[in-house]
Structure 1
Amino acid sequence: MKVNRPWVKEYKQQERTVDNSKFYNSRTWRKTRKLFLENNPLCIHCERLGVTTPANVVDHIIPISEGGDKLNTKNLQPLCKKCHEKKSASESAKKRGMGKKLSVYKRCTSHDSQNFTHE
């Protein structure tokens, strides 16, 4: 049972303007992603900061929703989960017109793997 609380602002559930789930669940994308991570195993944003971090996300540099090429490796970059979240948040803030730019290149501090050096 939902209680009406007029002092609590209701938020609309976040909706995507473009649904790319069919593409991301496709065999073609899964194979491309796997091969790309095998050939590019380290997060490029962390590497620029001198930190060695395993990449576990393949990110589209130019988002598909903005016309980025889906399978062209020149539009792909290997990122760790934290760097990908920062990049996505920054892009989302820009789309919403928020002036604050989030730092994508901020040093990652916690990672899952113990086999890599962290600062």
Structure 2
Amino acid sequence: MARLTMLRPRLNTISTRLKVTRGTEPGQAFYSTPEWRALRDRLLRERGRKCEDCGRTGTRIYCDHVEEISDGGAPLDEANVRLRCGSCHTTKTADARARRHGLR
């Protein structure tokens, strides 16, 4: 009778504890620079933690580029940065991506 041998697995296991850090996606490393952090902190201090679109307070506020960097917006121009709550930030970003890809 023939003896069966066990084949070694061809795929390695993948850790489920992967840590995704800021700066791993293209264009994201900019948001970890001291220049951006200083601008972000100053704008939050000067303008207050209030959404400049809907007026919402008491929630996380994002410093969002009006014209996205990937669309040619100036990264450190405070006139190109608007404070937005999560809802307004998501809506604006989805719209900008749709326009970039010709969907709107």
Q: TM-score range by the shorter chain?
A: 0.5 to 0.7
Equivalent pairs, count = 79
* Structure 1 stretches of at least 4 aligned residues deviating more than 3 Å after TM superposition: none
Q: How does 1:23-102 map to 2 (within 5 A)?
A: 23-40=30-47, 41-47=49-55, 52-54=56-58, 56-99=61-104
TM-score (norm 1): 0.59
Name stretches of at least 5 consecutive residues in structure 2 with no aligned partner.
Answer: 1-24
Q: Distance in 2 between matches of 1:26 and 1:39?
A: 20
**Structure with the greater alpha carbon radius of gyration:** 2
Shift of 1:96: 2.2
How far apart are the structure 2 equivalents of 1:57 and 1:78? 6
RMSD: 2.0
Q: Which has the higher contact order (CA 8 A, sep 6+)?
A: 1
Unpaired runs of 5+ residues, structure 1, are: 1-17, 100-119
Identical aligned residues as a percent: 31
Would the aligned equivalents of 1:60 and 1:70 in 2 still touch at CA under 8 Å? yes
